[in-house]
Chain A
């Protein structure tokens, strides 16, 4: 069945460091891929998405490219800030499926 695997956390970085959170998926057909973020005490928010191969989603300095050949959608940011501290979830939505399928989440802590 469809699944998402993302790197385990927690990830701890210093401010202005580079961030990569790996995400790979297994899905039939051509899924849409998403990164959601959950800030402390808040609900899930869509960070970025890509709906077809080679699409790049970007938002708030974060980027992720839909790589069909490696079935990956890694999240990257060149310079993290303390305010980026949150839990990041990779998710997919397959064509005939009615649900989002989620990774386990990766906790990011950015220290000043």
Chain B
């Protein structure tokens, strides 16, 4: 069974550019969450989507946006990139929105902004 897949695995962007990160959840999982993990720190919550609706948003600027498609895959978009956006972006999928359900993480997308 395929796990959570994220693409691309690595990318380098220039300040001011825009980036789109993609995530395919485990088959049957309807909830997708996005996290940002800066080197040496724990993940920080960005968004959660469940059944194609935004169910949670972390403390990130409006430059960050996301959406979930009918097949439950998801995109995270970041506009006007800053150097401080350099991080590992993690996608997690869960069967539902309940607190006891395990979150399965993808390998992440390593974004470097130069």
Contacts and interface: CB of A to CB of B under 8 A. Distances in A.
Interface of A: 4, 31-32, 36, 42-46, 49, 51, 89, 91, 93-95, 97-105
A99 B48 contact: yes
Range of interface residues on chain B?
20 to 34
Nearest to A93: B99
B42 A104 contact: yes
Interface stretch (B12-20, B67-75, B101-109): B101-109
Contacts of A98: 33, 48, 55-56, 97
A28 B33 CA distance: 22
Interface of B: 4, 33, 35, 40-45, 48, 55-56, 58, 90, 92, 97, 99-100, 102-108
A44 B55 CA distance: 22
A44 B4 CA distance: 11
A46 B43 contact: no
Nearest to A42: B107
Given A99-B58, A104-B40, 8 more contacts: A36-B105, A46-B104, A51-B99, A89-B43, A97-B99, A100-B35, A102-B44, A103-B42
A45 B102 CA distance: 10
A99 B56 contact: yes
Contacts of B41: 104-105
Nearest to A96: B99
A99 to B, nearest CB: 4
Contacts of B56: 97-99
Contacts of A93: 99-100
A43 B105 contact: yes
